[in-house]
Amino acid sequence: MPLIEEIAEEEPIDDVEPGRGDECSMSVDVKIQWSERLKLAGNAHFKRGNLEKAVAKYRRGAKLFEMLYAVSATDEEGYEAANERCYVAAAPLYNNLALCLYKQGKWKEAADACTDNLDLTPTDAKSLLRRAACYAKINEWVEAERDIKCALILCEEKWALRSAAETRKEIRELRLKQNMADHAVIGGKIADMKLYDAADVAPTGEAFPHSGRRKPSVTTVEDVKKELDEMEDEDREETRRRKEDFYNGMIRSGKWRLVNASGEEIKQKARPAA
C-alpha cells in the first residue's frame, strides 16, 4: 500500500487532544481544526515508527466526525455543505488509520476503517484500493476484486493502476498457495482412507492385477495455474453474459436504443412468439 506522504522535518509532536465528548458541542470549523492537529500528530508518530500512537491520533481525529448534522429536505441551515466539509477532513484520518492497522497486520480492522470512510465518501478510490488490499490478506478475494473494479472506474491514475496490479498479483499468489494447500489436504485424507486405486483392479479376464500399486499423482504448480486460468476464463464469460443480458434488456425496454454511425436508430426485428 502507498505510504503516507513524507514529513519534511521532525518537529515536536503536538499531543494535545480535545476532551471526551467535546465533539458534541463543536462547530464544524473547530472540528476541522482539531482534525488537522490530530492528523499532523499522527503523521509525526508514523514517521518515527510509533504506529500505536499514530493509530490513537487518527482514531481520535476520526471520532470527531461520527456525529454530523441531520439534513432537512429544504436544508435552509446549510447543513449539507457543512457535512461535505467534514467528509473531506475525515478521509485522510480514516485512510491513514487503515494504513497503520494494515502495517500492524490488523487487516480486518484496517478494512473496517476504510469502510467507515466509504460510508461518508463512497467515491474515495484510495479507500477502495486499501480495503481491497486488506480483503486480499483475509482471503476475501471476491470482495477485493469488487473494490478494485470500483476504484478503477473512479480513478485511472498511475498510482491507482499500480496499487490495483499489486493487489491482484497478491491475490493470484494467495489463491495459488491456497489451492496447493487444499490439494495437499485432500490428497492426504484420501491416502488415509486407504481406498483402492485403478492399479489394484485386475484387467478384464485376469484374476489379479500385474501393475502393482500405482504411485500417487503429484499436483504441480502448472496444474494449479491451469485451474486458476480456467476459473478466470469462466468469470470473464459470466461477466460477458451478464453485460449482454443487461444491454439487451435495456434495449428491449425502450430505455436504450441502437444507432448507427450516422446517429440513425437501428430497428430490431420483432421475435416470433414462442
pLDDT digits (tens, 9 = 90+) for 30-89: 889 999 999 999 999 999 999 999 999 999 999 988 877 666 666 666 778 888 899 999
Alpha-carbon gap, residue 100 to 107, rounded angstroms: 10
pTM assigned to the model: 0.61
Q: Is 254 helix (H, G, I), strand (E, B) or coil?
A: coil
Decide if pLDDT at 201 tops 70. no
Architecture (CATH level 2) of domain 1-105: Up-down Bundle (1.20)
The domain spans of the chain are 1-105
From the number of C-beta atoms within 10 Å of its C-beta (0-12, 13-18, 19+), residue 37 rates as middle
Q: What is the model's pLDDT at position 189?
A: 56
Decide if pLDDT at 256 tops 70. no
Higher-pLDDT residue of 262, 155: 155
Q: Is 259 helix (H, G, I), strand (E, B) or coil?
A: strand
Alpha-carbon gap, residue 237 to 221, rounded angstroms: 24
Decide if pLDDT at 162 tops 60. yes
119 residue type, one letter: D
pLDDT band at 274 (very low <50, low <70, confident <90, very high): very low
pLDDT digits (tens, 9 = 90+) for 208-253: 555 555 445 555 656 666 776 777 777 777 777 777 777 777 667 7
pLDDT digits (tens, 9 = 90+) for 101-142: 999 999 999 999 999 999 999 999 999 999 999 999 999 999
Nearest to 93 by CA among 39, 52, 43, 53: 39
CB-based contact 118:128 (threshold 8 Å):
yes
